[in-house]
Structure 1
Amino acid sequence: MPLAARPAPALLHRRTLLTGLAGAATAIALPARAGFNFFTSEYTATRAELEAQVRRRFPLQQGYGGLFTVQLSDPRLGLQPAANRAALTLRVAIASPFLDPGTVGGWLAISSALRYDAPALTLRLDQPRAERVELEGLGGQDAVRLQRVGAAVAQEALQGQPLHTFRPEELTVGRKTYEIGDITVLDDGIKVQLR
């Protein structure tokens, strides 16, 4: 390139600086990605990452009073930022020799607070609450009774269920190992403060 066509060194420096600043601004404007954010001391787990971990733990099956067996499967994760809660919609199947037919299916929705279990490095459901139970093909008092059974078993079975387990290296930067602080539910993931 001829000398006259080459940009001045000061202009090159400004271009490089502006390009770097534009890249940083773009990174700040993008939605949270999974992983550690050094600038804010936060770790964000995305909805997809959380749902993948949750799905691996199902189906769950639990008895109720020796009369019913309740199976929970096909979990779908929802996030409720306004309430700072996680939500799960699950397929429910209640089986009993006293039912005709022997198994009744439907859907169950729960919401739950979250807590951190430090020894296990795990974010867990805490005090899940059944919000809605819909059973197929039943009405009246039978439906009400079975809805109560499904809700009680789901709340018990899901208490303490892992939502996300951290790997030790995810909480370590250089020589510093972080502890989990505040837990915040976002539209597209869950963010934890690292301290």
Structure 2
Amino acid sequence: MRPTPERACGACPSERTSISRRGLIGGLVGAALMPAPLAAFAGFNFFTSEYTASRAELEAQIAKRFPIQQRYAEIFDVLLRDPRLTLDARNNRAAISAIVVIGSPLMQPSAVGGIVSVSSALKYDVAALTLRLDQPRADRIELQGLGGQDAARLQQVGGLVAQELLRDYPLHTFKKQELTVGRKTYEIGAITVLDDGIKVELK
């Protein structure tokens, strides 16, 4: 018995093409109907339950809030600008170095500049969804053109103000939708400082 045309065709090219197209379209439609991909946001890896922010990303966020300034003892104005972020993976700490300018009408010259470096542990602010510096301390401050007691006094002023300005300083703020996948909302757990980024646990 001769096969019918339908059976004879079998997997003819036109039929295979049609099936292939239907499979592709079906796959695209299915993907569109699925929940947001597990790696929908940069830095997130929901397979390993981690989020990582690179040093460059964090530094860009920090720079947006500078320069910052504060008056001390109604005599000195302390300005911090041009911040740079350093990460200490061994001690799980982050450090911000910045140009510091201390000014006062009682000084000659009226302003001096230098470099200040403040290091800190990190903490997570649950209410604000924000990764912050925790109890920063001034590790180094160098002022140009000063020596003796004047230098020591202004270094102390600059260090104290830098610590205060950077206390609870925000490094990264999450959006609520970033921490929500499907019906699950993730919380932030352990914070780990890497050589070139900061990683947080998603739990």
TM-score by length of 2: 0.78
Matched, 1:106 2:114: yes
Q: What is the aligned-residue identity percentage? A: 67
SS of structure 1 residue aligned to 2:112: strand
- Listed as ranges, the gaps of 5+ residues in structure 1 are 1-32
- 4+ long deviations beyond 6 Å: none
The equivalent residue for 2:135 is: 127
Q: CA RMSD in A?
A: 1.2
The equivalent residue for 1:160 is: 168
The equivalent residue for 2:22 is: none
Give the 5 Å matches for 1:176-195.
176-195=184-203
Contact kept, 8 Å, 1:93 with 1:103, in 2: the verdict is yes
Q: Deviations over 1:91-140 (max 9, x none)?
A: 00000011111000000011011110111110011110101000010011
Contact kept, 8 Å, 1:93 with 1:105, in 2: the verdict is yes
SS of structure 2 residue aligned to 1:141: helix
AA aligned to 1:138 is L
Contact kept, 8 Å, 1:35 with 1:170, in 2: the verdict is no
The equivalent residue for 2:94 is: 86
- Listed as ranges, the gaps of 5+ residues in structure 2 are 1-40
The equivalent residue for 2:76 is: 68
Contact kept, 8 Å, 1:79 with 1:189, in 2: the verdict is yes
Matched, 1:52 2:60: yes
AA aligned to 2:179 is L
SS of structure 1 residue aligned to 2:160: helix
TM-score by length of 1: 0.81
AA aligned to 1:89 is S
Distance in 2 (alpha carbons) for counterparts of 1:34 and 1:92 = 33
AA aligned to 1:166 is F
TM superposition shift of 1:141? 0.8
Distance in 1 (alpha carbons) for counterparts of 2:56 and 2:182 = 27
AA aligned to 1:182 is A
